[in-house]
Structure 1
Amino acid sequence: MSLMRPIAQIACLALAAAVLITAQGAVAGSQYVILSTEPLVDELPPGKIFVPSDVINVPAGAVVTLLGEDGSVNPISGPAALVVTEDALTSDSPQRASDGQAGPSSLALIASLLTNERRRTESIGSARTTADQSTPSGLDDPWAISIEESAPGCIRNGEVILARRGIGESAVFSVQFRGGPSLNGLVWSAGKPTYSLPNPIPAGAKSFVVETTKTSALIEIKVFPQNAALENRLEVLGWMVSSGCKRQALAFVRQLVTRQQ
């Protein structure tokens, strides 16, 4: 659902939004965060949040991709000048945040992640944007866990997908679940960016160690809640950030932006 309208329509839409919210008792869908701006525009950096009455000015030749608190992803091509309004989300909307505070708090987490990543890349002189696909394909999968660093790993449906950078040669590795079984002598074929473990994680498993001849990584398992909605991009992305799965969250952002192109 797009919650932005041309400036000329502000008055009538504000009244319509007020009527909708009053009549339906709905949650107001009124905040957006910038996921990506292509090409980069100083006034529209990734991580910037817009709230009701804010005006979004997109210059000619630029495309801004926004994530709304209803979970919608909205690419806006310039030239355009739009205002954020308090359009209503119906209470049975499949992309509605699970409660009245989940949307804004998730947006704030996502905004902080993108802002910090932008500052990090700027500090090292990188011109990379969230839509850049220069990383290996395995690490571009938001549900794939890197075996090259010890960090939380976010999974869904009990499935563990591993990712690596050096895919030019095969690798033999092992996976040891803490307090559980070990998987030894696993072979990662050359040219394969990801490897899916053959079975779901053991019941009660909280972490595991992946070891190759070159690396060793301790992964803290973060399982997507069963009562949460995988189709709600805001909910998934906010959960990844709050769980500490920074690399996976950034990969999810890149995926969302790329799919809108």
Structure 2
Amino acid sequence: MKHLYITSAILLILTPKFSFSQPLQSKRFGIYILQNSIEEAVQFGAVKNIKTGEVSLTDEEGFFAISGLVGDTLKFHSLGYRDTSWVIPGIWFAMDQKIELKVEPNVYDLPEVDVVRYYSYAHFKQAFKDLRIPKTEKDIAREVFSSWDPLFKEAAAQGRIDAMAQGGSVGLGIGIGGKDKLRLQREAVDKLEEVQDKSQRFNYLVSRANIKHLTEYKGTCLDSFMVFLNTGYNLHYQMEEYDLLSAIINASAHFKALKGNEEWFLNRQDSDKF
């Protein structure tokens, strides 16, 4: 009887332990996912039960259905929202009302993008080949000078023919049309000579020596002002001399207002090496 009593006691102890260790059955949950703060449905987000591998997508109202047990992890992912995970609690098994989960929007810091008008590298390469850089005054003057020689030669030849015509050695070979052509050519030469004179005068007025004389700048101060003048002011040989000198004086006043506190400006009376 003593051994029977002990066996019965062991059975009484083990039976409750066995009943509590029975696992809960999996349940299918209907869940809504909303964006936090504005309570807006999150559409077409993916939710995965990490343990079972089941995946479900939210619909237009943010609703999805998925199966799971207590302790299973549900992981949410959707473009525009932060990845979020939830662990299924036991209270979900006893809830009658709908389950709502909240997620936070994700702000993406994208790198700066420069928008260009070229569709491809080949398009850019062709556009670069077709690029026409505006000519500088120096380029224009060089082209004018290079074009003078043939015009001078032609004008000289026409001048000799005109002299011969006046001397009577050519006779009627030079008609009225020839004289009109000669007059037009002479006017063209006179215009080119005028351009040459203006260009030479312009080059002198904007030269380093004349700028130094006008502003009394020297050394580094003079170098800096020459760069400031050439890059910040549109000076050209067609300007009247008064307007050109006024532009240089105004540029000097502007330069002094901007750079007057610089050490090299205060010491502008230093010897000029150039």
TM range (shorter): under 0.3
Q: Which has the higher contact order (CA 8 A, sep 6+)?
A: 1
TM-score (normalizing by structure 2): 0.19
Q: TM-score normalised to the size of structure 1?
A: 0.20
The structure that is strand-richer by fraction is: 1
